[in-house]
């Protein structure tokens, strides 16, 4: 699967494309340009972009935060027209690998309770429900399911 995709560290020049995907996916809860700049310049954040082909646009991106012994998926998104191609799984597997390399014992994430596709992917890769934050998300209101993967 990974032979079809190229994952690299996010760079400043990726931010305009990443922001378009972020805003389309997350609306009012979207990260800002400064959030991504901060992640790129952080010693504990690991932002990645993924391309379907080396010279194609950004198909998806993610940000993993590692503060060993824990890691957290801070952000993950796949372009709407590129979903169901394994891109999200590829990004997630890459983040799991990085978390292991950085000696994290657990990876946490939060996901909208109604995002069945994402929850299915997370469970497929071994994440388990930990607890629920009622009414956490806005526009529309939804619960956040906190999930954990023990490495």
Q: Tell me: the pLDDT tens digits for 73-100? A: 999 999 999 999 999 999 999 999 999 9
Would you say 103 and 68 are in contact if contact means Cβ atoms under 8 Å apart? Answer: yes
DSSP 102: T
Count Cα neighbours of 44 within 13 Å in the Cβ-side half-sphere: 12
Note the pLDDT of residue 2: 44
**Rounded Cα distance, 121 and 139, in Å:** 23
Q: Please list, residue by residue across 43-59, b when 16 or more beta carbons sit within 10 angstroms of its beta carbon and e when fewer do.
A: eebbbbbbbbeeeeebb
DSSP codes of every residue in 39-78: HHH-SSEEEEEEESSTTS-EEEEEEEEEETTEEEEEEEEE
**What is the model's pLDDT at position 53?**
75
Spans of the chain below 50 pLDDT: 1-2
Of 68, 62, 72, nearest in space to 101 by CA = 68
Question: Considering the entire predicted model, what is its pTM?
Answer: 0.93
pLDDT at 122: 98
Q: Which residues pair with 51 in a beta bridge?
A: 6, 58
Q: How far apart are CA 100 and CA 98, in angstroms?
A: 5
Domains contained in the chain, CATH given: 2-150 (3.40.630.30)
* pLDDT score at 6: 93
The pLDDT score that the predictor gives to residue 52 is 83
CA distance 96 to 92: 6
What region, left, alpha or beta, does residue 39 occupy, with left being phi > 0 and alpha being psi -120 to 50 degrees?
Answer: alpha
Cα distance between residue 65 and residue 93, in whole Å: 15
- pLDDT for 110 equals 96
């Amino acid at each position: 699967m990974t032979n079809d995709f190229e994952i690299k560290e996010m760079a400043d020049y990726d931010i305009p494309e990443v922001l378009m995907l972020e805003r389309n996916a997350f609306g009012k809860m979207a990260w800002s340009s400064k959030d991504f700049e901060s992640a790129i310049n952080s010693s504990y954040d690991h932002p990645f972009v993924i391309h379907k082909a080396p010279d194609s646009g950004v198909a998806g991106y993610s940000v993993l935060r590692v503060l060993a012994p824990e890691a957290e998926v801070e952000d993950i998104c796949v372009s709407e027209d590129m979903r169901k191609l394994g891109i999200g799984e590829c990004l997630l597997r890459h983040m799991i690998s990085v978390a292991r390399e950085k000696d994290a014992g657990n990876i946490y994430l939060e996901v909208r309770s109604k995002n069945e596709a994402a929850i299915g992917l997370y469970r497929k890769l071994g994440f388990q429900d930990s607890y629920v934050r009622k009414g956490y998300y806005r526009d529309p209101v939804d619960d956040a399911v906190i999930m954990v993967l023990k490495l």
